[in-house]
Structure 1
Amino acid sequence: MAFSHPAAISNVTSHAQAPQPGDNDEGVPAGLPPHPDMKSHSDNLPALTPAFCFSTSTLKDFLRTSRATTDDTISQQLNTLSRPPTFNPTTTTSRQPSHRLIPPNTLTAFLHSTLYPSWSTRTEVLSYCAQVAAQPDPNDPSAAEIAQDNEVQGARTVDERLDPYSGRYFPKESRVEVLAGVVRNERGVEAIIRERTWDVVKSRSTDGMSGLTWQEAYDRWRQQKT
């Protein structure tokens, strides 16, 4: 039985942030590394560059599309893996389960060919962008504006006795700070989505996936690949 991989997102970087002053010809800010495998990525993995990560709308669109093609439709995909029960008049008076269990080999093949690779791709994207967010970014186009705002704020005379709100100052975030916040939030979303998906998978497994959590099962698959 053949299983289709999640739809390839070939144009995911088409809306990436345009190169900024100080970027090289590929839009990679100086001092920030491209992904080591960016030239040989799979069809489902976008070309990982700092420009891709800094375009946080593109990053979130990729994650949203990937989740929609696997996790959000997990019940429908699992339904295609099990045959509908044959009619048996002797069982019509008994309560039937609301879903059909999937043969272990069939379910394992689906997890290994479709679900886990999709999770792996999103993990790799978020890990790379987290590394980008942790690197110095001297070419941030908003750096001069942020520095000027901080200088102006530092020169202000603040007297909270006259104005309790005069000491409040919310500096503009640099693009690495914005990216770090997006990655942190998306990792939280990812954990929730995988937990929900795994509950569905366990409900269709003949042995409840041996009581494994999604993290344990996913880690086993990764270890088998290495």
Structure 2
Amino acid sequence: MVKKNISKQDSRERILDVAERLFSTSSFASVSVRTVTAEAGVNLSAVNYYFGSKKGLFQAVYVRRCTEMNRQRLELLFSAVDQAEKSGGKLAMYDLVSALISPPIEWLYDEDGGLSVYIKFIARAYLEEASDMANVLEEEVAVFDKFIPYIREIHPDLSDEDIFWRIHFMMGVMHHTINHLDRIGILSHNNCQVTTWEDTRDRIVKFCVEGF
């Protein structure tokens, strides 16, 4: 019985891995269930068995790693809060923005570990109306609520409406960078180089903090 459960889990993960890769480079409509199952080496009915439908598969791909990304974001947030409390200082806006931005930018550079594939996937996911993503996008949006009380303390002059708009703009900067990182070379006539994820992260964070 244990071996059977492990086999099922392996099959489910293989489907998710293949779907993530295919959806990261092609539209929701153009990727067929048959292609996914064939590359994953499972029966055609496996997608319906594990995920209910093609839409369910697409959403499961999103949720699988989004949960881990948001866990990392909160870990960075609460680490910054603890450090500020221990030092007797105030929590810096730079640390808050960095906690939100760092995981996706670090993952973008993770070619060897495969996390960059997921970042390319979510860059497309926001544009895929046919995949009916509204309900699962709340998985990411919910994490922002944890940051709001700390932003209020740093910027008591801002209304909640202002704060949410500025988070929205900040995420726009991040997603544009994720989608078009190579454009900086073209824009700058090769004067700007894409080096480490930390350098890219620091530039985005500095820009967004000034924007707030």
What's the TM-score, normalizing by structure 2? Answer: 0.41
Bigger Rg, structure 1 or 2: 1
Select the structure that is richer in helix: 2
